[in-house]
Structure 1
Amino acid sequence: MAGESDTLTCKNLPNLFSSFVDTFVDFSVSGLFLPPSPSNSDPNTPLPTFNPSPDRLIAVGDIHGDFEKCKESLLLSGIIDATGNWSGGSSTVVQIGDVLDRGSDEIKILYFLERLKRQADKSGGKIITMNGNHEIMNIDGDFRFITADSLKEFSNWAFWYNVGNSMKALFSGNVDLPKDPFRGVPVEFKGIRKEFHEGFRARIAALQPNGPLSTRFLANNVTVLVMGESVFVHGGLLANHVNYGLERINKEVRDWINGVRGDLWRDIGRGRNSVVWLRRFSHELAESCDCEALEHVLTTIPGAKRMIMGHTIQGKGINGACEGKAIRIDVGMSKGCINGLPEVLEIAKNSEARVLTANPAYQDSDGARVVRIGGRAGLGVLLEDDRRKQFQVKA
């Protein structure tokens, strides 16, 4: 007669097998084994919109499907070691969005960042990922900036995802199979070469609202983040966005990605004045930035002294405008953009900031391009002096 423990094991067998299949599929897709999820990961927990300043904060700009540049950016600040594992201790990393599009390693980067999140959690550190306009576009079915190689990556994901579900079906009746994300997705697409149809279909299935990859990797991204004195947003914030509510924006984007909300407020994800598309504070020419509007926005967010943005490529590297109140960190690092050399922004708790760069023409002995507290906003204004000299900071 079987004992109670044997009976319990038998009852758990389908779920254990399902977990094994998920691990098998993850590895087949990404080549990575993911550590267990944090025990406190509750999908109903409000997203972390307002946070205190960490002792050390690293801000990473747009990645756009370039896995090697992603790793190089994190290596610059010691966040990962040479093997690609977390080595950042209690540091906090903010990736400001636009992992998707223009490159061929989008899914690989999503898995990589997820693994680092779990490793960081065990070390007292944190990785916070954000939604950019390209995440919003893909969930919305706008694939203008995809590549042929990325479609191959999604086709590969679809193959292993279906293999996993077929394996789980062996326990039909005992394992809850996910809803088929391919149901209702067209098989052919007019105007698209036939060899790409499979990849298009897989991409739609994966990233649509309530899709397997969108809910898993993008739904819990924040769209707006306040970290001490710094406001992070992909494009920018205007007064009407703050009045609408920053926590409300994060909640509505998550609900939309999870398929429990029909559509987004236009000023979050569509149009040039939306949260993820705005460029009024990120023009490469500092004098073209709307400093008056930025100052007004910052005064409406308690404790905010600066806005840190991606979205607009800064050919001269990470820089500031509006007396350091606007910090622009998209350096176009992806080969699908301008193939820029990676740079990251580092902020200490006392607001001392520096830019860590892969460009040897700018590096000092510590691998930094800027080391300065100055300026009322805590960062000063980063000004280009000479292509072969360090940037100077106007206090």
Structure 2
Amino acid sequence: MRIFFYLILPMILLSATTTAQFPNARMNRVIIEGDLPSGFNPEMKQLYTFVSDVITSKDYDLDTVTGNLAEGKIKWNIPTNKPTTIKGPFIADYKFYGVISESGDSISIRHVNNKLRFTGKGAANWELTFRLREVLDSLENLPERRTLSSHKHPPTSLEDFFKWNQYLNKRISLILSIMEVYRPEITSLAYNEIKRLFLLEEEKRRLWKFNFIRLGNTAVNKYGLTNKDLCNIYDSVMINPSSQWLMKTPYNQVDLYYHWYIMKLNVYRKYHKFFKTSPDDQMPCSSQEEYYFAIYNDIKKNFQGLMKERMMAFTFWDKDGLLGEVGFNSRIDSLLQDYYNTSQYDAYKEAVKKAEVKYRKRSGSRYIPSFSLTDKDGNKFSNYQLNNKVALIDFWFTGCTGCVQMAPALKNIEEKFSKDTNVVFVSISIDKNFSQWTKSIEEGEYVSGKGIHLYTEGKGSTHDLIKGLTIEGYPSLLLINPQGRIVPYDVNQMDPRKDQGKGMTTLINQLLSDMKDGPYILHEGKDSIISWSFLNNQADKKILSAEKTTSISTINYLNQTYNIPLQQSVVLQPSVYAQPEKLLALSDIEGNLPVLTALLRGNGVIDDQQNWTFGNGHLVFAGDMFDRGTQVTECLWLIYALEEKAKAAGGYIHFILGNHEIMNLQGEHKYTQKKYLDNAIAAKQTLKDMYSSKSELGRWLRSKNIMEKIGNIIFVHGGVSAAVTRLNYSVEKINNIARPYYDINYVGKTEDTLLIVKGVGPTWYRGYYYKDHTEQQLDSTLKFYKADHIITGHTIISDTISSLFNGKLFNTDTHHAAGNSEALLINGKRFYRTNQEGKLTLIYDANKNNNFVKQ
């Protein structure tokens, strides 16, 4: 490594001296000009900028600046009087984070031998940034790197983790050495921003690896580590000069999530506990609320100045912060007041105040607050006794007329789940008179008399729990999921008094379904199959005969079990199909089984027993069944089961992979619900293992395409960018080239990998909806593929199915989880929006001259 550095050092010194200045450089702007490279295309006219010194992530927004072309050159004038980050395809590919420039900079960019050369005021920032990226990319091809696991995948062993740590230390050492060479040429602001950018990238990698080895739910985890071992590793690996500099040094760009996660790990370290030693074990801090208090107090104690201000504000305003995750009670109100009294920065206080106003408008909080109340036998009962249970809490008082009406409906619900120990019924009274309270319970007029009855210690409606939940009307019902979150529902539509509890029963069944997961079927050689199922993160492993196992069982949206025949073989799907008479397209279900089932039932695709009723019609799912939701596995099995049923009726199912399918196959689980990661740990596997090529669902997913042509329509999750179109590849060739990369995190960028990388590939592209894809480019794509329409998902642009470019482009991604769930029905040449009730709205008619139907 030392020899390598000395070889590149003369080049660094030479390039760092090229700082010729333009005489026409103006203050309050950055000027960038350059010659047009070979292969220049219209997309390269756009540069994207953002000002670095924003207060919160809500202020972060990319501005687009279009360059002016003249005599083989292009020039951008970027108005700014603050440090600004600049990026765009003229400079580098989508992976490039951008370059920090300051007001008054004037940069000239030249393409020499396929490399960029920079001159002008501020050029050293650009030279340094590109030099660091070039050198670090070259390290990825070294033999020592090739023996390591992919950077976002779990370490293959403890030895692999420690080798990764050594490799990252070498990268950081090289970064700091190169930066010292450039230090005299750049401002201190630019130095700190560039140093932060590159060190943060390395420390995030280290954090990612550590987060894998710290998980477990037995005394010794899958890496052979105890909590004591992890404390020692944390002290020696995670606490290092690079991470400490990042935690202590203020910087302008907003990226506090790394800092926040380190603060969370610090809490684990403080209590010497990084993972649970059994499924019933408790982690440090008795509730989510306690985590935030611990972190807030650590910030006040250990940070100073601007960094302290940002971290304290972040505790409140971020969507994953205290107000968004927990809500309000007297303790949190006191903590807010402490912040307002402590903070010295009005801009941050204003941001927190806006967040406070926003979150106070919510009814109640997202988590049930901590409480400890007395039951009718004098025993203490706390919210922790509801952990891993579905809880229905009824708030009432003696004399409440509505409570009398509610009691019979609650009895019906209780009877439905009388034998299910995973459901708990709790009644909390605001009666101040203890004797009156116990008498009302015995009489059973206001409550069912069953379940757990709790007393508010004579405080009634002034009790912290009642105030924290903003209970104002009685009776009030709260439904709590096993993680302690309050489940939102429409109070008017779901009032048990109106339907004798049928709607609430359905909702409780859905939550019970969420507690379950599986089965995951893994093929072990020719003779045996391993089946993994889970309940509350506890694993049930069965070893089955491969010859005798012809079907598996799973659950539907009503928590009912049904059988699914296993497919005899997995066949790669064709890429091109004839146009069917009718076709239903939807996307981005994201593990929401009730929504998926409702859309299919409401539009005549299936019946109540999950049978295919769509005849010779085609169902197209345009990607993203994975992530965010809690019934991903059940959704996948439903589509899997319907495939053979559809074929038998002359119909067909198309499952087109989206970016979240690819991410999960590659082991990237940023958006995955925690229950899936915990379940994999309980099985001493990784979630990637559960979807490996040895698994039934993994094999099935790998047989699918990322792009298909059905009749005159291209179906794709993200879109077909101009870059992909210029490759002149057929749909079949795109699928054949992309398939080997489904479960491989690419390194480098070639024409082939371009097909699936973020930003420009069919699974990721969003350009249609961000105004950087013209109708002319869309026409070029349609012409090449001899198609009339493209149908995508991936990007929500409306609460309904949307059509752009006069019916050439349709988007099927809607806010399913928010209740705005729709699909696209194509019947002949007519295109309809349709909802869960099957209500059709015509939006495009190819039979008419004026095709587009105004809404």
Does residue 325 of structure 1 match 2:808? yes
Contact 1:35 1:119 in 2 (8 A): no
Over 3 Å counting, the alpha-carbon distance change for 1:290 and 1:201 in structure 2 is farther
- Secondary structure of 1:62's partner? coil
Q: Which of 604, 607, 623 in structure 2 is aligned with 1:97?
A: 623
Q: Which range is displaced more, 137-146 or 367-376?
A: 367-376
Q: What is residue 736 of structure 2 aligned with on the other side?
A: 251
How far has the Cα of 1:262 moved from its partner? 10
Does residue 124 of structure 1 match 2:611? no
Q: Could you tell me how far apart the structure 2 residues matched to 1:27 and 1:202 are?
A: 23
Q: What is residue 567 of structure 2 aligned with on the other side?
A: 37
Q: Partner letter of residue 297 of structure 1?
A: T
Q: Which range is displaced more, 231-240 or 288-297?
A: 288-297
Over 3 Å counting, the alpha-carbon distance change for 1:221 and 1:13 in structure 2 is closer
Over 3 Å counting, the alpha-carbon distance change for 1:119 and 1:48 in structure 2 is same
Q: Which of 606, 612, 624 in structure 2 is aligned with 1:86?
A: 612
Q: Could you tell me how far apart the structure 1 residues matched to 2:661 and 2:591 are?
A: 12
Larger Rg: 2
Q: CA-to-partner distance for each residue in 1:80-138, whole Å, 9 max, x for gaps?
A: 11222211111101000100001111111111101011111111111110100001111
Does residue 133 of structure 1 match 2:659? yes
- The ranges of structure 1 where at least 4 consecutive aligned residues each deviate by more than 6 angstroms after the TM superposition are 12-16, 261-264
Q: Could you tell me how far apart the structure 2 residues matched to 1:207 and 1:36 are?
A: 16
Does residue 367 of structure 1 match 2:854? no
Contact 1:319 1:381 in 2 (8 A): no
Q: What is residue 763 of structure 2 aligned with on the other side?
A: 276
Contact 1:61 1:330 in 2 (8 A): yes
How far has the Cα of 1:223 moved from its partner? 0.7
Matched positions, count: 307
Contact 1:206 1:213 in 2 (8 A): no
Over 3 Å counting, the alpha-carbon distance change for 1:42 and 1:214 in structure 2 is closer
How far has the Cα of 1:226 moved from its partner? 0.5
Structure 2 regions of 5+ residues with no counterpart? 1-525, 530-543
- Secondary structure of 1:347's partner? strand
Q: Which of 831, 843, 848 in structure 2 is aligned with 1:353?
A: 831
Q: Could you tell me how far apart the structure 2 residues matched to 1:381 and 1:79 are?
A: 26
How far has the Cα of 1:275 moved from its partner? 1.1
Q: Could you tell me how far apart the structure 1 residues matched to 2:682 and 2:695 are?
A: 17
Does residue 113 of structure 1 match 2:113? no
How far has the Cα of 1:14 moved from its partner? 8.8
Does residue 20 of structure 1 match 2:548? yes
Contact 1:72 1:342 in 2 (8 A): no
Q: What is residue 823 of structure 2 aligned with on the other side?
A: 344
Over 3 Å counting, the alpha-carbon distance change for 1:380 and 1:207 in structure 2 is farther
Over 3 Å counting, the alpha-carbon distance change for 1:148 and 1:321 in structure 2 is same
- Secondary structure of 1:315's partner? coil
Over 3 Å counting, the alpha-carbon distance change for 1:241 and 1:68 in structure 2 is same
Q: Could you tell me how far apart the structure 2 residues matched to 1:235 and 1:247 are?
A: 17
Over 3 Å counting, the alpha-carbon distance change for 1:36 and 1:273 in structure 2 is closer
The two structures have a TM-score, normalised by structure 2, of 0.33
Q: What is residue 592 of structure 2 aligned with on the other side?
A: 66
Contact 2:592 2:632 in 1 (8 A): yes
Aligned 1:185-334 pairs, distance under 5 A: 197-198=681-682, 201-208=685-692, 210-213=693-696, 215-242=698-725, 243-257=728-742, 265-283=752-770, 290-302=774-786, 304-333=787-816
Q: Could you tell me how far apart the structure 2 residues matched to 1:375 and 1:252 are?
A: 37
- Secondary structure of 2:737's partner? helix
Over 3 Å counting, the alpha-carbon distance change for 1:357 and 1:42 in structure 2 is closer
Asked which structure has the greater RCO (Cα within 8 Å, sep 6+), the reply is 1
Over 3 Å counting, the alpha-carbon distance change for 1:289 and 1:379 in structure 2 is farther
Q: What is residue 51 of structure 1 aligned with on the other side?
A: 577
How far has the Cα of 1:289 moved from its partner? 5.3
How far has the Cα of 1:51 moved from its partner? 1.1
Over 3 Å counting, the alpha-carbon distance change for 1:233 and 1:245 in structure 2 is same
Structure 1 regions of 5+ residues with no counterpart? 1-11, 156-196, 360-365, 384-390
Does residue 143 of structure 1 match 2:673? no
- Secondary structure of 1:34's partner? strand
Structure with more strand by fraction: 2
Q: Could you tell me how far apart the structure 2 residues matched to 1:111 and 1:356 are?
A: 24
How far has the Cα of 1:298 moved from its partner? 0.5
Over 3 Å counting, the alpha-carbon distance change for 1:316 and 1:332 in structure 2 is closer
Over 3 Å counting, the alpha-carbon distance change for 1:42 and 1:72 in structure 2 is closer
How far has the Cα of 1:296 moved from its partner? 1.0
Q: Partner letter of residue 215 of structure 1?
A: G
Over 3 Å counting, the alpha-carbon distance change for 1:102 and 1:379 in structure 2 is farther
How far has the Cα of 1:371 moved from its partner? 5.5
- Secondary structure of 2:620's partner? strand
- Secondary structure of 1:226's partner? strand
Q: Partner letter of residue 356 of structure 1?
A: T
How far has the Cα of 1:374 moved from its partner? 4.6
Q: Could you tell me how far apart the structure 1 residues matched to 2:798 and 2:853 are?
A: 14
Q: Could you tell me how far apart the structure 2 residues matched to 1:319 and 1:14 are?
A: 48
Over 3 Å counting, the alpha-carbon distance change for 1:379 and 1:232 in structure 2 is farther
Q: Could you tell me how far apart the structure 1 residues matched to 2:797 and 2:819 are?
A: 9
Q: Could you tell me how far apart the structure 1 residues matched to 2:736 and 2:686 are?
A: 27
Q: Partner letter of residue 567 of structure 2?
A: S
Contact 1:357 1:369 in 2 (8 A): no
Over 3 Å counting, the alpha-carbon distance change for 1:124 and 1:348 in structure 2 is same
How far has the Cα of 1:312 moved from its partner? 0.3
Q: Give identity over the alignment, percent.
A: 23
How far has the Cα of 1:282 moved from its partner? 3.3
- Secondary structure of 1:87's partner? coil
Q: Could you tell me how far apart the structure 1 residues matched to 2:851 and 2:839 are?
A: 20
Over 3 Å counting, the alpha-carbon distance change for 1:244 and 1:289 in structure 2 is closer
Over 3 Å counting, the alpha-carbon distance change for 1:254 and 1:19 in structure 2 is farther
Q: Partner letter of residue 784 of structure 2?
A: T
Contact 2:706 2:716 in 1 (8 A): yes
How far has the Cα of 1:379 moved from its partner? 9.5
Q: Could you tell me how far apart the structure 2 residues matched to 1:314 and 1:212 are?
A: 35
Over 3 Å counting, the alpha-carbon distance change for 1:379 and 1:103 in structure 2 is farther
How far has the Cα of 1:325 moved from its partner? 0.5
Contact 1:206 1:212 in 2 (8 A): yes
Q: Could you tell me how far apart the structure 2 residues matched to 1:323 and 1:292 are?
A: 13
Q: Could you tell me how far apart the structure 1 residues matched to 2:809 and 2:843 are?
A: 17
Contact 1:308 1:329 in 2 (8 A): yes
How far has the Cα of 1:375 moved from its partner? 7.8
RMSD across aligned positions (CA)? 3.2
Contact 1:231 1:308 in 2 (8 A): yes
Q: Could you tell me how far apart the structure 1 residues matched to 2:674 and 2:699 are?
A: 24
Q: Could you tell me how far apart the structure 1 residues matched to 2:663 and 2:758 are?
A: 12
- Secondary structure of 2:564's partner? coil
Q: CA-to-partner distance for each residue in 1:266-320, whole Å, 9 max, x for gaps?
A: 322222111111111235xxx7753221111101012x00100000013331010
